[in-house]
Structure 1
Amino acid sequence: MRPARSVLLVAALLLLGLVLTPATAQSAPTTSRTPTTPSAPTAPTAAASPVASNGQLKVCGTKLCNQQGKAFQLRGMSTHGLQWYSQCVTSGSLNALATDWKADVLRVSMYIQEDGYETDPRRFTDLVHAAIEQATARGMYVIVDWHMLDPGDPHHNLARAKTFFSEIAQRHRDKNNLLYEIANEPSGVSWSRIKSYAEQLIPVIRAKDPDTPILVGTRAWSSLGVSEGANESEVVANPVNAANIMYTFHFYAYSHRDEYLQTLSRAADRIPVFVTEFGTQNYAGEGANDFAMAQRYLDLLAAKKISWVNWNFSDDHRSGAVFKQGTCAGNGPWAGTSPLKPAGVWIRDRVRTPDDF
């Protein structure tokens, strides 16, 4: 997501049995029935969890497959930037995501600039470690999102990425529930430049962790080039020289119409694609929801077994944040529809019962 950029850094992050204990945060940049208020759910049992059922994922052909080699679609949510909205990622909120929402996957969004990783690599790496452990305890898959955004050239952060992913891969290499997203939304650079970055970083990760799928950002804010006048053909003709990888696609339904949808459809027949971020609003994650267009995308994703993650699991004031303002500061309630904005109600339904729509 391409955000506005005026924020105040979260003052303190305390670990008190939560992933990231509630703290005061200001509105952050963007990159959304009848109310119910059930009691907070408990974490799922291992036998019932997505990871227990599907095990180590791998890329097979153009699909993401489970340990039995069957094409498998992950559905879940992305956190907002940990530097602003760590207070939305708690034991209670993750219990709700795993059991009430029945999500398969949590994307842990760690910004690099914008008061993120580069300001304190140790602290932010530890926040990611903590989030991985909490999601793992609930039987969910975890996307470790290297949320580079501005500058748009991933090479700007290559040395940092090598340091970060080396540690993450070393510590979590024995887990079977991770995916590494190595470049959130490259922009203003050629596909060959992004490919070069991936081909320098992937061997560093593979030296520590040979099995975890790796997700590679595509040109023009992970639009497969569409937002800068290109399309999927450049990736199809010149893929990254690595195995067990997928290419990311991001869309915001109000802004990204048929050209984007058709590009995604064509690409998915030629290369492995994972939608690691989408919203029902405009590309800034704000404004009116276009649920009809978003449903067209989800129908395509279901038909082609393309995994997806929605932006975002926070109480930011924008319509793309699923929780109403104040939910995170009040530590819930998290479950049911009462704490959710319209986009939250809509996406929760699709995470819970994807085949009913």
Structure 2
Amino acid sequence: MKAGANTVRATATTSAGGPNVDHLSVDTGGPVASTPAAVNGQLRVCGTKLCNQYGKPIQLRGMSSHGTQWYGQCLTGGSLNALATDWNADVLRVSTYVQEDGYETDPRRFTDLAHSLIDQATARGMYVIVDWHMLSPGDPHHNLAMARTFFTEIAQRHNTKTNLLYEIANEPSGVSWSRIKSYAEQLIPVIRQHDPETPVLVGTRAWSSFGVSEGSDENEVVNSPVAAANIMYTFHFYAASHREEYLNTLSRAADRLPVFVTEFGTQNYAGEDADDFAMAQRYLDLMASKKISWVNWNFSDDHRSGAVFKTGTCANNGPWTGTSSLKPAGVWVRDRIRTPDSFPTG
């Protein structure tokens, strides 16, 4: 069995940007009992659900970073404290872009940054999705050699942690499901060699839509699943663009497959323009009813409406707590993440 994830307890000392990282103290007696990672421990896939150390289905809710090559300044001690203790988030998705000025430009830098963010989120008792954010080109095989290198080191370094999930292909596009499946079946054994227990999240066809955005549906995965255990399939949606067909696909797929929504927004598919909170709430209600875990895009101050912080917040180092620095989408999703969890135990 793996050791429990290290957690850190914030003291009552706060600053304008939230609890100051200098006033955090390690609880050497073990995980802080109230944190999501301490309560739930090592996750595993049981049937179509994500289950905790007690074998009970749970739902995780949290935020995704934007690309760390652009918005690393939004991931500070203060902002991560706020995510853990003001937002009460269960999970942080760390998005390491492969192209777009990301990993391929400086593998050492971006691997080290991923290590640091994994450790910082772990210290705050959150789960971490290690997101290999392949986007363009859409064929995951294009990055297979780099993915082997990246995930080998990540799995070797963090294989004693109980609070990780590996997302191995963000949004495949323009390729068949069989092509994505073959990538997963080559990469998963590389991870399993060093970390046999951490769940692996596999992107689906057509920008992780189960193929809907390219005229297919979940049946291609149901009929030809990845030959590996302890895996889930990802689904992404943007409420203003992705309507009934996508909602119905998610509902059907979750009854037949383990599904994790590793990215969604209340805006259009580009994460911008007007919010459709009513449609987004329909998705959230469905995901709550079926215990589908979800992560919102994104925890940055990008100018688009889907970035939760107002432009300039990160450069000014907050304020991170409360709602004064949040755009409407940020206020909305923070409120829903803060809704108390119900994590069943033994």
* TM-score computed with the length of structure 1 as normaliser: 0.88
Residue of structure 2 in register with 1:254 after alignment: 240
Aligned AA for 2:37? V
Partner SS state of residue 282, structure 2: helix
Distance 1:184 1:252 in 2: 15
- 1:302 is the counterpart of 2:312: no
Match of 1:172 among 158, 180, 196: 158
Partner SS state of residue 160, structure 2: coil
Distance 1:218 1:233 in 2: 12
Residue of structure 2 in register with 1:291 after alignment: 277
Residue of structure 1 in register with 2:308 after alignment: 322
Residue of structure 2 in register with 1:218 after alignment: 204
Aligned AA for 2:111? T
Aligned AA for 1:219? R
- Alpha-carbon deviation of 1:59? 0.2
Counting only pairs closer than 5 Å after superposition, residues 69-108 of structure 1 correspond to structure 2 as 69-108=55-94
Counting only pairs closer than 5 Å after superposition, residues 229-244 of structure 1 correspond to structure 2 as 229-244=215-230
Residue of structure 1 in register with 2:5 after alignment: none
Runs of 5+ unmatched residues, structure 2: 1-14
Distance 1:212 1:314 in 2: 27
Residue of structure 2 in register with 1:48 after alignment: 34
Residue of structure 2 in register with 1:187 after alignment: 173
Residue of structure 2 in register with 1:155 after alignment: 141
- 1:57 is the counterpart of 2:40: no
Deviations 1:7-49 (A, max 9, x none): xxxxxxxxxxxxxxxxxxxxxxxxxxxxxx9761366972221
Runs of 5+ unmatched residues, structure 1: 1-36
Does the 8 Å CA contact 1:38/1:336 hold for their aligned counterparts? no
Aligned AA for 2:233? Y
The root-mean-square deviation of aligned C-alpha atoms, in Å, is 1.4
- Alpha-carbon deviation of 1:159? 0.3
Match of 2:110 among 124, 130, 140: 124
Partner SS state of residue 283, structure 2: helix
Farther off after superposition, 177-186 or 40-49: 40-49
Distance 2:281 2:82 in 1: 23
- 1:279 is the counterpart of 2:265: yes
Match of 2:253 among 236, 261, 267: 267
- Alpha-carbon deviation of 1:302? 0.1
Does the 8 Å CA contact 1:41/1:100 hold for their aligned counterparts? no
Distance 1:39 1:273 in 2: 35
Distance 1:133 1:261 in 2: 35
Q: How many residues in Structure 1 have an aligned counterpart in Structure 2?
A: 320
Does the 8 Å CA contact 1:254/1:280 hold for their aligned counterparts? yes
Aligned AA for 1:147? H
Distance 1:200 1:107 in 2: 23
- Alpha-carbon deviation of 1:127? 0.3
Residue of structure 1 in register with 2:185 after alignment: 199
Aligned AA for 2:287? L
Residue of structure 1 in register with 2:195 after alignment: 209
* TM-score computed with the length of structure 2 as normaliser: 0.91
